[in-house]
Amino acid sequence: MTRLPQVVIIGGGFAGLSAARALKNVACEVTIIDRHNHHVFQPLLYQVASAGLSPGDIASPIRWILRKQARLRVLLGTVERIDTAARQVWMDGHDAVSYDYLIVAAGATHSYFGHDEWSAAAPGLKTLDDALEIRGRLLMAFEAAEREHDPARQRRLLTFVIIGGGPTGVEMAGALAEIAGHALRSEFDAIDPASSRILLIEAGPTILPAFPEGLRASAKRALVRLGVEVREGAAVTHVEAGAVALGSERIEAHTILWAAGVAAAPVGRDLGPGLDRAGRVSVDADLSVPGHPGVFVAGDLANFVHQTGKPLPGVAQVAKQQGAHAARNIARLLRGEATRPFRYLDPGNMATIGRGNAIADFGFLRVSGFMGWLLWLFVHILFLIGFRNRLSVLLQWAAAYLTQQRSVRLITRNPGS
């Protein structure tokens, strides 16, 4: 019996999963390693953070997703080091896994641009735990305000700052405005949640820079209508517990969320020297890593320069296509063929701003408002993994749309501690 080639995939996100699936009928043994036991549908993570969905609605165990695939095993563990000379991946607990081919799809984490000390005061949104932490903080702010007697402190408790005007920041701001303005309305005694101040702060000249001007303006109008203060060209110079500084301006806010910067997963450093400033690994046209034979990088960790000359954004579609492409290139090598360069097929770009409003850019078609939202809904339900999840999300969105309620306003754990 000849030993089958060993393919190891680091990461069970969009890139890792799509790589594993693309290897389904290839004569090799696949090991997929992730820090979490579940795959998260990241585009809807903000809905868990804003109490619209449960963690179980947007996440499924990686084992379960891949249960029907033969010659595949799943390991729960943290990869601490890649030894490309010995072709081994080292996990926590001093376990090593050997590979013939490796796909590194370890993704990205928050970047505080050198100010890691801001992270406790302004958590970011990357994992289910992050989402539950943020949900707890948001809901706790209203609860604490209800019990507060001092008007200035009450004001601070009802001020929310979101730093970063990309899709995540915009979606969080919209969802938060709806919680304050609708879902919590008439449930409090000493405060009026609708009087909350919600600021969306973007250092660049505009929010949603990836979208065309018309859609951006439409999104901005929708945010303002919801009561969000949009501050563009406003660079945050300092963050501490309870306050944000924009140069000389100081904003007192109990709740501060970080949706600004992204840094590549630290394991990428073993694939140098070609790392960019965010720590991403520069890859060749076929997604392989120069100087590390047999190693491919896909998803947020890859620094891939697009056919148009621009680097690709860190979105789900890029990750999915790259993961599958890296896997197919490994299959080609196993068959003795040459690898092929990766080409990105851009399916478009979407963001939602509260209930019944979204913008969608498909190049040839640009939609905003209610039609955009229906499209957004359709696409997100379609790509959710698992029939049960889709049905559950659809039902909860329908209920939320009709009642303007948020179904999972649960504070679990001790937020902020």
Catalytic residue among 29, 171, 178, 202: 171
Instruction: Give the dihedral sign, CA 123/137/373/56.
Output: positive
Cis peptide before 273 (omega within 30 of 0): yes
* 37 near a copy of itself (CB under 8 A): yes
Tokens of 208: 């949603």
> Within 102-141, which residues bind a copy of itself (CB under 8 A)?
128-129, 132, 139-140
* Closest distance of CB 392 from a copy of itself, Å: 7
Q: How far apart are CA 346 and CA 321, in angstroms?
A: 10
Tokens of 356: 């019944």
Count interface residues toward a copy of itself (CB under 8 A): 49
> Within 330-389, which residues bind a copy of itself (CB under 8 A)?
388
Other C-beta atoms within 10 Å of 190: how many? 10
Do 168 and 262 meet the contact criterion of CB atoms below 8 Å apart?
no
* 409 near a copy of itself (CB under 8 A): yes
Kindly write out the interface string for residues 140-179 of this chain, putting x where it contacts a copy of itself by CB under 8 A and - elsewhere.
x--xx-xx--------------------------------
* 417 near a copy of itself (CB under 8 A): no
For residue 171, indicate whether it is catalytic.
yes
109 vs 206, beta carbon nearer a copy of itself: 109
Cα distances from 219 to residues 17, 168, 265, 290, 347, in angstroms, run 32, 13, 31, 41, 20
Q: State how far Cα 63 lies from the chain centre.
A: 21
Of 203, 205, 182, 202, nearest to 193 by C-alpha is 182
77 vs 311, beta carbon nearer a copy of itself: 77
Q: State how far Cα 122 lies from the chain centre.
A: 16
Q: How far apart are CA 175 and CA 223, in angstroms?
A: 10
Burial class (CB in 10 A: 0-12, 13-18, 19+), 409: middle
Q: How far apart are CA 111 and CA 264, in angstroms?
A: 9
* Closest distance of CB 244 from a copy of itself, Å: 25
57 vs 171, beta carbon nearer a copy of itself: 57
* 25 near a copy of itself (CB under 8 A): no
When binding is defined by CB under 8 A, the residue of 4, 24, 56, 348 that contacts a copy of itself is 56
* 204 near a copy of itself (CB under 8 A): no
Give the residue numbers marked as catalytic: 171
Residue numbers at the binding site for a copy of itself (CB under 8 A): 36-38, 54-57, 59, 61, 63-64, 67, 73-77, 91, 93, 95, 128-129, 132, 139-140, 143-144, 146-147, 184, 186-190, 388, 391-392, 395-396, 399, 405, 407-413
